[in-house]
Amino acid sequence: MNRILMTVCLVVLLTAIIQSTSEAQHDRPQEISSMPYEWKNVQIVGGGFVDGIIFHPTARGVCYCRTDMGGAYRRNPETMRWEPLLDWLSYDDANLMGVESIALDPSDPDRVYLACGTYTNDRTPNGAVLRSHDRGRTFRRTDVPFKMGANENGRGNGERMAVDPYDGNIIYLGTRKAGLWKSTDGGISWSCVETFPDIAENPPSHIHNEDSLRFWQWFNQGCGIVFVIFDSHSGSADKACSVIYAGVSLLDRNNLFCSTDAGQTWNPVYGQPTQYRPTHAVLASDGTLYQTYGSSPGPSRMRDGAVWKYNTNNKEWTEITPDTPDTAAGEAFGYAAVSVDSQNPRALIVSSYGRWDSAGGEDIFRSTDGGRTWTTIFGGGGTFDYSLAPYTERTSIHWLFDIEIDPGDPDHAMFTTGFGGYETFNLTDADAGKPTTWSVMSTGIEETVALELLSPPKGAHLISAIGDYGGFVHWNLDKPSAEGNFDNPRFGNTNSVACAENNPDIIVRVGMATNYNRGKNIGYSTNGGITWQPAASLPHPESRLGHIAVSADGKTWIWSPDPVRRGFFPGSTSKPMPVYYTHGSGITWAECQGIPDNTRVIADRVNPERFYGIDLFSGKLFISTNGGASFSEKEMNLPGGLPQSKLNRGDWRGGQDRIYAAPGKEGDLWIAAFDGLFHSTDTGETFIKSESVQEIHAFGFGKGLTENDYSSLYLIGIVNGIRGIFRSDDMAKHWIHINDDQHQWGMLFHITGDPKIHGRVYVGTHGRGILYGDPVK
């Protein structure tokens, strides 16, 4: 008997040891495996502000462009696609995804320089200059002791950086707030040009409070040195240029400076116009310096502007403005950019900015006699081909802050706009009174900002919610949506989109309607996104943006609109908004009871009566079992304690610090906190922490290994000390690293797997569009 008892005890003890070991192994961080993925952009084409185009002056087909927060691109002259150059930038270097300026070495077409940095505020790191000797295939980096503002006012001005055409080691870089800088070793090191004039700009005397100061700084203040130009006639094969021009975004004071001793001293150019701020300049082969001006740097509103030319030979200034705004009639516009035909110094084009329909519409003006007479390009019968990006047909051209005539082909010209750009191959037809044809030139550029991603259980591969251009239904990931972006209603920003898990033909989206759809801030589809219609009503006249949840059967929607903000700047007030529900497609709405204002709510993926919300930092879980009419509150006990709300927890637009409901499992919840991943299978009674996960920026689900397996998990963050994109096929026990150092894309906001294809994942970026990845076969 004692022997039997001892045997039983031994078995129990061994079982306990094995179980304890198993649990310890589950809780302990596991080794990370990796899997190669093939990554492609979901094709939207453009979707953001391309603010600069740079042709090499002599090497035909060598062309680059820069964006305000989506990196830089080189155009492949064979495929006519733009190829991204900065996808290797990590989260820690996301600030460098904004490119302030690009410079090419006129004597070596393989050399390219990028001045990088997105913002100049105190919270943002200093910028860097990236240099490449192989046309951007690889880069070396020099950190600089100042900030750049590639996504600030004046970002379309330029170019701020230039390389001496005879000595490629000499590079000048104009900054916003730190003056003029120079490199004499090909961008390896930089020093401040101490002899350059003081260009500090103080606020006007009538500004007495912080809000008005911020308004002036953002909308009216200049943006530093906006262009540097070498006069190639002042140098030779064995001597660097002695004459250099620098334009500064100053108003009512000297704003064009010249050095005649290779940058040692600088003086204002005599007789210059000072009533505007310079925006662009180009030096023609005959010595004529053409300049465009506006009352502000743009894209803040310009009240006035002009075009002037300066004869560097006889030192004479001449105004050549093609169309002067009639301010008495309420017209207010300026001029954004200028380009000159390298083969004909009297042939040029300039672009307007802010010239709305009442003044004739935004246009490009063309002159073949040095600006003495002008014709309009679009007003003269220009036509547009939108086929490469169908959504652009719904959006008028705007923000033409760079226009360029190809130095190797005077018939080929490009201009930038807020969603990419256009090009023509028959520019000179305008000189004979014939129409020009413009087509989308942005193929390869993907600059959208993803605000939410939905891959429904059936139907389209992906439905995207993006900033500025609403979003798309992506039936074919490799082609732009033929029907364009969301319509009826059309949004600027779409902040949230959701479908009914068990009836995915029902899709609901919320955002901010455009002027033509004012007040229609929620739309829905009953056929999987083929057609849309606005909801019958809003729960409150100011309901907009926020987050939408749709019950598993599609009959209940719960909307948590954004707070209503009063004022533009930090410190402005906001009014909280209740959480609302409807059982009738928005015909009537009622406030959800028992849940705090502005709480993000999600639907259970199985039970149509269940919804969830959290107050993460107070440890509260809110549960509705009656279709959102009321919520009960439950204490949420997370292993290791509750996170601290005052810490830096990533960008607020990302997918961290949220609750997620697992597909196919009622009451199965995941909390993707910025600093940890927690899982509950009992509707929040208990949570288990994944010890492998240290940081999260986005989280989502995709199809499991088989039809019967638990959904695969996808995560952007840090796992076992490694930053990247990860997949788990076993409920977070083990993680697979699925991206590499060449595919990082700076800052990432959202991720979701595809519930129809195991292994496929969609990643939403901050300015590099939406990527999709599949395992390499």
Q: Could you list the active site residues?
A: 68, 468
Residues in CB range of 231: below 8 A, 6 or more apart: 241, 243, 244, 245, 283, 287, 312
Q: What gap in Å lies between CA 37 and CA 760, rounded to an integer?
A: 9
CB 715 within 8 A of CB 699: yes
User: Would you call the peptide bond into 775 cis, given omega within 30 degrees of 0 as the criterion?
Assistant: no
Helix (H) or strand (E) holding 447: none
Could you list the beta-strand ranges (E) of 553-626: 557-560, 564-566, 573-575, 580-582, 590-591, 601-603, 611-615, 620-624
Cβ(106)–Cβ(127) under 8 Å? no
DSSP per residue, 137-198: SS-EEEE-SS---TTSTTTTSB--EEE-SS-TT-EEEE-SSS-EEEESSTTSS-EE-TTSPP
Question: Rg (Cα) of the chain, in Å, rounded?
Answer: 29
Say how far apart CA 611 and CA 501 lie, in whole Å.
Answer: 13
Give the helix/strand (H/E) hosting 449: none
767-770-776 Cα angle (round to 5) = 130
Closest C-alpha among 467, 614, 465, 627 to residue 554: 627
Collapse the DSSP code of 327 into the 3-class scheme (helix H, G, I; strand E, B; otherwise coil) and give the result: helix
Residue 476's CB is within 10 A of a number of other CB atoms, namely 12
- Strand 191-192 to strand 225-230: parallel, antiparallel, or no bridges (unpaired)? unpaired
- Rounded CA separation 305/355 (Å): 11
Sequential DSSP letters for 26-73: HHSPPPPEE--EEEEE----B-S-EEEEEE-SSSTT-EEEEESSS-EE
| Neighbour-count burial for 94-119, b at 16+ CB within 10 Å, e otherwise | bbbbbbbbbbbbbeebebbbbbbbbb
Beta bridge partners of 344: 341
Q: For residue 260, what are its two tokens?
A: 């005649």
Which distant-in-sequence residues (6+ apart) come within 8 Å of 518 by Cβ? none
